[in-house]
Amino acid sequence: MHRLRARPYAAALVALALAVTTASCTGSDEPEGAPSPAPSSAPAESPATSDEPAPESVQPRVRVTRVSGRLKPKDQEVLADNVGKVVNAYFEDAFTGGAYPRTSFGDAFATFSDGAARQADGDRDLLTNRVLGPQTESVVVRRQTAYLSVLAPYKVAAGVTATVHLRFVAERADKPAKRVDVKGRLMLTRKEKSGGWKIFGYDLTQDATTAGEGGAR
């Protein structure tokens, strides 16, 4: 479960964020050619300044943006849902979920293939919130997007690259908050038996900066 800090004025700020992001949420971080969000969609990022109370966590956004081959629109929706669950489960297990302050990240790679999980274990400091976790009191998600490039040569998805961006603020006791950006690619194929999706490759960067610097949180 997420442990998210409830904040006053959250509803008003979410509404404000929605209005702002509706106008400008196709930022430079969004992959080229990604579709513009529908006006009713959840905000991909919730802006705020250091002087304002931060809004609640935004909802994850997952979309199919490219298909190499053919995949029906309805199948694209199902795919986005299924792959989204896997990607979002990783982000939750590794960064945004759990009870903070958090020292255990043993379940961070549950949605990875066995081999990828073994490799990821060696990159744990970058692929989880382990470094900041013990000092973090709560996590507020500011952006959580996954844009999917799909390989579907025979009208069925065979492989997916998720171009991801997770931005969250780690609120810390007696210390300034940290804004953490996790960006890059997650590669997925189907499990042989169940047909579900698993992450078999990753190419991610993590960038932690002090929240409030440059007016960004």
CB of 19 to another protein, least distance (A): 28
Q: Exposed (0-12), middle (13-18) or buried (19+): which is 2, by Cβ within 10 Å?
A: middle
Between 6 and 32, name the residue whose CB sits nearer to another protein.
32
| Secondary structure of residue 6 in the 3-state scheme | coil
Instruction: Kindly list the residues in this chain that would bind another protein in the complex (CB under 8 A).
Output: 31-34, 65-69, 112-116, 119-120, 122-123, 125-127, 131-132, 147, 149-151, 153-154, 158-159, 161, 163, 175-176, 178, 184-185, 187, 189-190, 200-210
Between 25 and 120, name the residue whose CB sits nearer to another protein.
120
Between 20 and 187, name the residue whose CB sits nearer to another protein.
187
CB of 1 to another protein, least distance (A): 25
How many angstroms separate the CA atoms of 91 and 97, rounded? 8
The residues, ordered by sequence, that sit 6+ positions from 23 with a Cβ below 8 Å of its Cβ are none
CB of 67 to another protein, least distance (A): 8
CB of 82 to another protein, least distance (A): 15
Q: Which of 53, 60, 27, 51 is nearest to 145 (CA)?
A: 60
Q: Which of 46, 51, 37, 53 is nearest to 15 (CA)?
A: 46
Between 90 and 112, name the residue whose CB sits nearer to another protein.
112
CA separation, residue 150 to residues 157, 161, 205 (Å): 6, 7, 22
Between 52 and 123, name the residue whose CB sits nearer to another protein.
123
CB of 69 to another protein, least distance (A): 5
Between 39 and 195, name the residue whose CB sits nearer to another protein.
195
CB of 151 to another protein, least distance (A): 4
Alpha helices (H) along 10-113: 10-24, 73-91
Number of Cβ within a 10 Å radius of residue 60: 21
Q: Which of 25, 96, 26, 27 is nearest to 56 (CA)?
A: 96
Report, in this order, helix, strand and coil percent for the chain, each rounded to 5: 25, 35, 40
